[in-house]
Amino acid sequence: MTTALVTGVAGQDGIYLARRLLADGTRVVGTVLPGHRTAMSAYLAGVEVVEHDVRDAVGFRALMDEHAPDEVYNLAAVSSVGASWKEPALAVETNGAAVVRMLETLLARGGSTRFFQAASGEELGGARDSPYARGKTEAHALTTEARERHGLFACAAILYNHESPLRGHQFVTRKITRAAAEISLGKRDRVSLGNLEVSRDWGHARDYVDAMVRIVRHDSADDFVVATGVAHTLEQLLVTAFAAAGIADPWPYVEQDPGLVRPTDTAVMVGDYSRTGAELGWAPETTFEQTIAEMVAVDLRRVRSGVEEDGSYLT
């Protein structure tokens, strides 16, 4: 049986990836930050969850010794540009330096384990100087170096924005879908937002983790772009989300707050996944409209039931 170690398994991508791997018959060991076992465990049936901070090199070596994984998927990170500005040192250390120590451990063990690094489209945009992007860029470069100079089966995927009902509240996409659900049910009367003109390439996390597995299990290691190739503005996302909640005109409920604009941002971000499609046979299966509608539908269930996380939300 193949064993996979997934860092950050309780995050959006970690949950979808773990479920994808389990469906293949893979044994999944997943890490969460010490003391951070949360309601997200509702989605992790079948996963061997262990507490581990990816900055702990000694702890990572112990995990490798105990579980001997065939594949390591590094998804643990300070997960957004906005959050990284609040704790820049933590973002650079977690997103970048921790990966150096992982790669060193894998090389010291003989390089038989396949390694996946979650890179980001933010490395290429206007926010590339953010602590988030700096850490991701360092980790991406070191992953490529471990492959090209040292022969490690090390891969990176430049992941453009991807969403799901498990997206955290700190992301504007989830802020909007939750607001649409609550406003439609009479639980609130407005939502405050920043720049609605930014344009992003939004896919579904379920599709993107499928690409991750294909990358790791490809005949040869390489770096790939995972995207949809289609950009939408945040305004379009707002309108789509409110429509999914049964509200044709969102504007009476929206107020714009300049204080919510990022220190640095990219006007438009869109990826080209053509080589990924050609070499791996991968293509996004979920449209932008379907992704947002699914998020709103689950947020409506959350608001109506009062249950924030339940395994049935992903079925």
Catalytic residue among 132, 160, 208, 273: 132
- 132 counts as catalytic: yes
- Would you give the DSSP letter of residue 93? I
| Residue 49 CB coordination number (10 Å) | 18
Catalytic residue among 122, 123, 182, 294: 122
Catalytic residue among 79, 80, 84, 120: 120
- Strand-strand pairing, 71-74 and 162-163: unpaired
- 313 counts as catalytic: no
- Is residue 192 within a helix (H) or strand (E), and if so which, with residue range? strand 191-193
Q: CA-CA distance, 247 to 241, in Å (whole number)? A: 9
Classify the C-alpha dihedral 183-289-202-55 as positive or negative.
positive
Q: CA-CA distance, 186 to 182, in Å (whole number)? A: 6
Q: CA-CA distance, 111 to 107, in Å (whole number)? A: 5
- 148 counts as catalytic: no
Catalytic machinery residues: 120, 122, 132
